[in-house]
Chain A
Amino acid sequence: MIKVENLHKSFGKNEVLKGISTEIKEKEVIAIIGPSGSGKSTFLRCINLLEEPTSGIITIGKDVVTDKRTNIMKVRENVGMVFQHFYLFPHKTVLENLTYAPMNVQGVSKKQAIEIADELLHKVGLYEKRGEYPNRLSGGQKQRVAIARALAMNPSVMLFDEPTSALDPEMVKEVLEVMKTLAHSGMTMVIVTHEMNFAREVADRILFLDGGQLVEDTPPAQFFTEPKSARAKEFLEKVL
Chain B
Amino acid sequence: MLDFQAVVPSIPYILKGIGVTLQIVIGATILGMVLGILLALCKIGKIKVLRLIADFYTSIFRGTPLVLQLMIIYYAIPQLFDINIDPMPAAILAFGLNSGAYISEIIRGGINAVDKGQQEASLALGIPYAKMMKDIILPQAMKNIMPSLMNEFITLNKESAIVTVIGALDIMRRAYVVGGSNYHYLEALMVAGVIYYIMTLILTFLGKKLEKRMSRSD
What is A's interface to B at a CB cutoff of 8 Å? 48, 50, 73-77, 79-81, 83, 85, 87-92, 100-101, 104-105, 133-135, 149-150, 153
Contact = CB atoms under 8 A, between A and B. Distances in A.
Interface stretch (B33-41, B89-97, B121-129): B121-129
B136 to A, nearest CB: 6
A50 B128 contact: no
Contacts of B125: 76-77, 100-101, 105, 149-150, 153
Nearest to A81: B124
B136 A89 contact: yes
B117 to A, nearest CB: 4
Contact of B126 (A77, A87, A91, A149): A77
Contact of A83 (B120, B128, B140): B120
B121 A87 contact: yes
Given A89-B136, A90-B140, A135-B218, A73 B120 contact: no
A134 B218 CA distance: 8
A104 B131 contact: yes
A91 B117 contact: no
A82 B115 CA distance: 16
Contact of A87 (B120, B128, B217): B120
Contacts, number: 64
Residue with the greatest number of chain A CB neighbours at <10 A, chosen from B118, B121, B123, B135: B121
Interface string B121-148: 1011111100100011001100100000
Interface of B: 115, 117-118, 120-121, 123-128, 131, 135-136, 139-140, 143, 216-218
B143 A91 contact: yes
6 contacts: A76-B124, A89-B121, A90-B217, A91-B217, A100-B125, A134-B217
A81 B125 CA distance: 8
Contacts of B128: 73, 105
B140 A87 contact: no
Rank and list the top 8 A-B pairs by shortest CB-CB distance, nearest first: A87-B121, A77-B126, A81-B124, A87-B117, A133-B217, A101-B125, A76-B126, A73-B126
Contacts of B126: 73-77, 101, 105, 153
Given A89-B118, A133-B217, A50 B123 contact: yes
A50 B143 contact: no
Contacts of B118: 87, 89
B127 A87 contact: no
A77 B140 CA distance: 23
A82 to B, nearest CB: 9
A87 B139 contact: no
Given A76-B124, A76-B126, 19 more contacts: A50-B120, A50-B123, A75-B126, A77-B125, A77-B126, A79-B124, A81-B121, A81-B124, A85-B117, A87-B118, A89-B136, A91-B217, A100-B135, A101-B126, A101-B127, A104-B131, A135-B218, A149-B125, A150-B125
